[in-house]
Amino acid sequence: AEGAQELASRGIAHVVTVAARLNPRISGDVAHTSVPLDDHPCADLLGALRPALEAIDQGAVGSGAGGVLVHCASGVSRSVATVVAWLLTRRRYSLDAALKAARAARPRANPNFGFIQALQLLEANAGDVEAAAKLSTGANRSLVQERVRLLRETANSFHARADELEERLARHRSSDPAADVPSDLTGQLQQLQVDIDDGAPLREVDDRVARTIRRAASQKVARLLGSE
């Protein structure tokens, strides 16, 4: 009830939820549009725009239907990208001007780099969502392929470092089984574990093969540290 009163006090007549797994309770007096979209660089922003833009049109200033609230989980990436796209397509803002306006209203506004690329395509195609989407399909495919290549390359480098440290530890033990493990070797193993943990992507696309290699490298490091 308080949420409905808050929306009413702000003149909000339409809520647009831009998120894949958010199901907010919206009063029956307030129109609600849900646009499923994940927040990662390869998510199809352009493919999700049409219903979102049409919903914003219904509550835009001058429509006489009341205001519109566009939100996602944090109000940083998905909702901002959607509003920026509306400014590009409906108000003919440049991308820079639209982002500036969004950040003036929401200082935390920061669409992910994949969304920025999609918005650049939208600007380059004069706000034509369908034309931009066709170009984006190929761009996203290339983006995923490059991301997977980098993930596997990084994971392989982690495993190579683990193999090298394992061999050094084996040589040390074969030359003097009773000697303590050198502190520099222990430090390198610990640093490698930190690097492996930091190398796991948080928001971006991950790759099953790269994830398996990282896990194997991490298990080897844990075993080597535990066997000192």
Verify that 122 and 160 share a domain, yes or no.
Answer: no
- Residue 63 banded pLDDT, cuts 50, 70, 90: low
42 catalytic? Reply is no
Total domains in the fold of the chain = 2
Verify that 121 and 165 share a domain, yes or no.
Answer: no
Q: Which two tokens stand for residue 190?
A: 């610990």
CA dist 94 to 78, 122, 129, 227, Å? 19, 10, 15, 60
Asked if the model's pLDDT at residue 52 lies above 60, the reply is: yes
Verify that 74 and 152 share a domain, yes or no.
Answer: no
Does some domain include residue 105? yes
Euclidean distance between the first and the last CA atom of the chain, given in angstroms as a whole number: 61
Does some domain include residue 159? yes
Percent of the chain at pLDDT > 90 equals: 51
Verify that 92 and 28 share a domain, yes or no.
Answer: yes
Note the pLDDT of residue 43. 87
* Nearest residue to 85 via CA among 113, 58, 48: 48
Verify that 95 and 150 share a domain, yes or no.
Answer: no
Alpha-carbon distance of 126 to 25, in angstroms, equals 36
Verify that 90 and 7 share a domain, yes or no.
Answer: yes
- Residue 40 banded pLDDT, cuts 50, 70, 90: confident
Spatial neighbors of 130 by CB under 8 A, at least 6 apart, are none
Active-site annotation holder among 37, 72, 116, 155? 72
Percent of the chain at pLDDT > 70 equals: 91
Does some domain include residue 91? yes
